[in-house]
Amino acid sequence: MAQTFQILSKALTNSRFQSIHAKISPPKPSTSQTLTSSSSSSSALRFVKSFSSPSMDEPCGSSNSTVLILSGKSPLEVEFAESLKRKDRVLKLPELDGFGLVSVHGDEAECEVQRPFCVEKYMSALSAARFGRFLIWSPRLSSTQDVVSLNFCDLPLGAVCVSDIQFKGRGRSKNVWDSPIGCLLFSFTLQMEDGRIVPLLQYVVCLAVTEAVKDVCDANGLPILDIKIKWPNDLYLNGLKVGGILCTSTYRSKKFNVTAGIGLNVDNEKPSTCLNVVLQELSSVPCKLQREEILAAFFKRFEIFFDVLLTQGFRALEEAYYKAWLHSGQRIVIQEKDDTQLVENVSVTVQGLASSGYLLAVGEDNHLYELHPDGNSFDFFKGLVRRKLV
């Protein structure tokens, strides 16, 4: 569609960089918008995409703009970022992230974003060989999961998208995930071939988060935070929810393209509690965990666990997983209808996970059962359906 461009340029005060703004007449809404760049003064590319046409003096972190910063760990990832600058590739954003104005900023110091994620600190801490090495960071996105899913085939495997705030974050069954400042919010890409173990991936991600937090605490000489896993994909600390996992996949060319999304309350007291609040209660000196360190530690742990899952299966990770989860020996009462449609309470005891990834339980009749969610209940444990195993 034809668009009208009016190029405006002004020198930034006390800076050797320029800020170039291009006013674009808004296109008609569509399911996604394409984001490209025209210039950059560094290998970390800065893109601003706006809902409307803000004034020239409006900070780029304002509520009506979407800022994307691309960065790479190695020359290979940096070259990929540079290819975006040369328009060899494009990035697509969800419609909710706006359209209208594209602006390229060459100096991150000029982008006044509140409490930004420090790209340099993250890349310095990252040691994973395959995951997290290509980074997309934004102070505000509708959903990191949507951004990664829309661009899955155009991003290198292992690419991660991080946002300080999400305004349309979601969890299981389209539940809304509250994502205030202070959360570690990210989604990343991976591929799998064996569909039988794809459902188990969410457990590997959960385990990697719990171990990564322990690693960061230990490395900084801080009290260890013992995060627990509530099946299937919630993270709890001291009885309160502090995180959640969402894994989605599509099947293409005989491979499963998986997007794994994680939300972890690191430095936000609401809506429940966060890691730093609990950490301060355990420590006599001021101390804080940093999102950048946790993310780097997560990819180190996940890379190890993912390789084990692919080569040895989930059974090799079960011992570590069961140490972190909340349910061994948990007694559950399931409501079932008998032949006369009367509701009957059936008691079972959780034993672990079945090979399918569902809960494995034993009934009072000593038979083994697989427990499936009914798909209707917000709490998995209030909507379970049992299936007798032969």
Report pLDDT digits (tens) over 108-145.
443 444 457 898 999 999 999 999 999 999 888 899 99
Q: Are residues 12 and 72 in the same domain?
A: yes
Average model confidence (pLDDT) for the chain? 77
Q: Do 144 and 222 sit in the same domain of this protein?
A: yes
Last residue of a domain, one of 96, 113, 130: 113
Number of domains composing the chain: 3
The answer, yes or no, to whether residue 6 has pLDDT greater than 50, is no
Residues 136 and 263 in one domain: yes
pLDDT in tens, 223-266: 999 999 999 999 999 999 999 999 999 999 999 999 999 999 99
Domain stop point among 303, 326, 349:
326
Tell me which of 281, 302, 326 is where a domain ends: 326
Identify whether residues 122 and 105 lie together within a single domain: no
pLDDT at position 383 is 55
CATH number at residue 245: 3.30.930.10
What pTM value is reported for the model? 0.80
More confidently predicted of 375 and 60: 375
The span from the CA of 235 to the CA of 314, in Å, is 19
Pair (319, 343) in one structural domain: no
Q: CA 99 → CA 13, 330, 339, distances in Å?
A: 28, 50, 57
Q: What whole-number distance in Å separates Cα of residue 135 and Cα of residue 189?
A: 11
Do 198 and 161 have their domain in common?
yes
Residues 15 and 149 both lie in one domain: no
Residues written for the chain: 390
Domain co-membership, 19 together with 144? no
Question: Domain check: are 159 and 206 in the same one?
Answer: yes
- In this prediction, what percent of the chain has a pLDDT beyond 90? 51
Domain range enclosing 142: 116-326
Pair 321, 336 in one domain: no
Residue 224 DSSP class? P
Regarding whether 13 and 142 lie in a shared domain, the answer is no
On whether both 319 and 340 belong to a single domain, the answer is no
